[in-house]
Amino acid sequence: YTYIGAPYGVGGLDCSGFTSAVYADLGVYLTDSPAAQYAFGTPAAAEAGDLVFFDEYGYGISHVGIATGYGTMIHSSIYYGAVVEAPIDSVPGYVGAVDVY
């Protein structure tokens, strides 16, 4: 939650840059690519801390956020221009979640 309000793109905080930064704070190092992050963990049920992935345009994984466990996610949104909390179903093309622990 400490990243909420951080500007999109500043300091590398696009969607996968945001998830990489959060997990680096926890000692887990992810590549800065939504598709590569999708392949990193094991399939999960979008519980708190799981990465959630989207195929927004029908061409493969294009977006990633972090599930809160309440049907929402925290993600770096180009639409809002910042890191925000939003319903998981507010982004089109939900693909699934992975547990990276």
For the question of residue 15 being annotated catalytic, the response is: yes
50 neighbors 65 (Cβ within 8 angstroms): no
For the question of residue 75 being annotated catalytic, the response is: yes
For the question of residue 62 being annotated catalytic, the response is: no
Among the listed residues 73, 75, 84, 98, the single catalytic one is: 75
The per-residue DSSP string of 11-44 comes to: GG-SHHHHHHHHHHHTT----S-HHHHHTTSEEE
> Beta strands 51-54 and 42-44: pairing type?
unpaired
d(CA 55, CA 29): 23
Among the listed residues 63, 65, 84, 98, the single catalytic one is: 63
d(CA 42, CA 73): 18
Among the listed residues 8, 13, 15, 97, the single catalytic one is: 15
- Catalytic annotation, residues: 15, 63, 75
